[in-house]
């Protein structure tokens, strides 16, 4: 089978060979349960988890006791938000363009008696910091924002948001799923969620950094693992894998991908009239390009673009037939939102890939 050029890294990434090499022994040789305290198999697994925590802590600048391993960013986000609000009602501030993991959890919390404020974004996908500050009330407990939008690549001013929140005595959760390894890690946030399969690690494992002094409501009850913040038998191979993936991340990679992305966009815009880059006039992460092809049907284009693997938005929303709520929030009409495609580059994308992708796209759209 001839595979197309993969340009859907924002949906998932392949596991890096270096990550796989570290993981493999823990499937067959060192397969013990990290909670088995009376024999060498358990000791070895526990040691591997401890080493993984140290590797992540050293890479991200957090403490080992602040790391909670989960099944992925969706669970991490649920743990952060429900952990703050479920047993102590209050006010949550978030943004209309957040990932569904945040928006659906916010809706759930709202149904449990918590007030939620959803901030608007402008035509580039930015929030108004003055509006954020004005939204904070005496009962505001948490601000939850994503560092990088998964559909447009727009970067929010996380440092300013954290500073603003803390200045008001409000906790801040950052969804770093799309920014980890590309931008500076928001170490000052109270909660940071991320996922292994977005950083060349395995699927089914993620992390939540929780400041060690914070008390959160447990969401998964059982064996009281991970300081009773998240019960359940630890996924040792996954934990070893995500730790290795974090340790080999290189922010300089973002600059390389940005150059490839910019050249791709320049060629597409010059050859195809009635195209528009969403978020072009603001800060974007280097590997994501969201393009509107006015008058075209994105799903029809996807069926014809057989030489490249791309998407028309978040993989988590692919089952719906509604226009992207992210693109609608930044002001696109429903028709233009249905005419947009997301291209996302990654570690194994090269110049030839992007040139071939641009040529194929231009050929099909014309």
Closest C-alpha to 100, from 357, 347, 330, 316: 316
**CA quadruple 281, 287, 288, 289: dihedral positive or negative?**
positive
* Category of 211 on φ-ψ map: left (φ > 0), alpha (ψ -120 to 50) or beta: beta
Closest C-alpha to 236, from 14, 20, 46, 73: 46
Q: Which residues are catalytic?
A: 316
Helices assigned H by DSSP within the chain:
17-23, 25-28, 40-60, 73-85, 100-111, 129-135, 158-167, 236-247, 252-271, 298-304, 325-329, 334-337, 351-365
Dist CA 168 CA 160 (whole Å): 12
N-term to C-term CA, the chain: 27
Q: Is 355 exposed, middle or buried (0-12, 13-18, 19+ CB in 10 A)?
A: middle
Distances (CA, A) of 171 to 12, 130, 162, 179, 363: 29, 18, 8, 20, 49
Looking at the DSSP bridge assignments, the partners of residue 194 are 207
Residues 36, 38, 41, 45: what is their CA dihedral angle, to the nearest 10 degrees?
Answer: 50
Check if the beta carbon of residue 162 is closer than 8 Å to that of residue 172: yes
């Amino acid at each position: 089978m001839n595979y197309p050029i993969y340009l859907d890294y924002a949906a998932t990434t392949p596991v890096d060979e270096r990550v796989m090499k570290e993981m493999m022994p823990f499937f067959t040789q060192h397969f013990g349960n990290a909670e088995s305290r009376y024999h060498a198999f358990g000791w070895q697994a526990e040691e591997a988890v401890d080493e993984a925590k140290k590797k992540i802590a050293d890479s991200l600048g957090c403490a080992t006791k602040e790391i909670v391993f989960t099944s992925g960013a969706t669970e991490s986000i649920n743990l952060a938000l429900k952990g703050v609000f479920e047993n102590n009602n209050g006010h949550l501030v978030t943004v209309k363009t957040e990932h569904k993991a945040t928006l659906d959890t916010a809706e759930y919390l709202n149904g449990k008696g918590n007030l939620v404020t959803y901030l608007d974004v402008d035509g580039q996908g930015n929030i108004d910091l003055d509006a954020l500050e004005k939204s904070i009330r005496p009962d505001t407990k948490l601000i939850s924002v994503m560092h990088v939008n998964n559909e447009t690549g727009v970067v929010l001013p996380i440092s300013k948001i954290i500073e603003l929140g803390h200045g008001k005595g409000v906790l801040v959760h950052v969804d770093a799923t799309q920014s980890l390894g590309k931008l500076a890690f928001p170490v000052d946030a109270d909660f940071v969620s991320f996922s292994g399969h977005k950083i060349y690690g395995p699927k089914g494992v993620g992390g939540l950094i929780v400041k060690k002094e914070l008390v959160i409501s447990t969401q998964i009850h059982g064996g009281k693992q991970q300081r009773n913040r998240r019960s359940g038998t630890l996924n040792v191979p996954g934990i070893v894998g995500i730790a290795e993936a974090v340790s080999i991340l290189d922010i300089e990679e973002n600059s390389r991908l940005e150059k490839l992305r910019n050249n791709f966009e320049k060629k597409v815009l010059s050859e195809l009239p009635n195209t528009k880059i969403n978020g072009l006039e603001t800060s974007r992460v280097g590997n994501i390009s969201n393009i509107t092809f006015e008058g075209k049907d994105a799903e029809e284009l996807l069926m014809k673009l057989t030489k490249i693997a791309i998407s028309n938005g978040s993989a988590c929303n692919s089952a719906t037939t509604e226009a992207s709520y992210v693109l609608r929030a930044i002001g696109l009409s429903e028709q233009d939102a249905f005419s947009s495609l997301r291209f996302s580059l990654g570690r194994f994308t090269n110049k030839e890939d992007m040139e071939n992708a641009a040529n194929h796209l231009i050929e099909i759209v014309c």
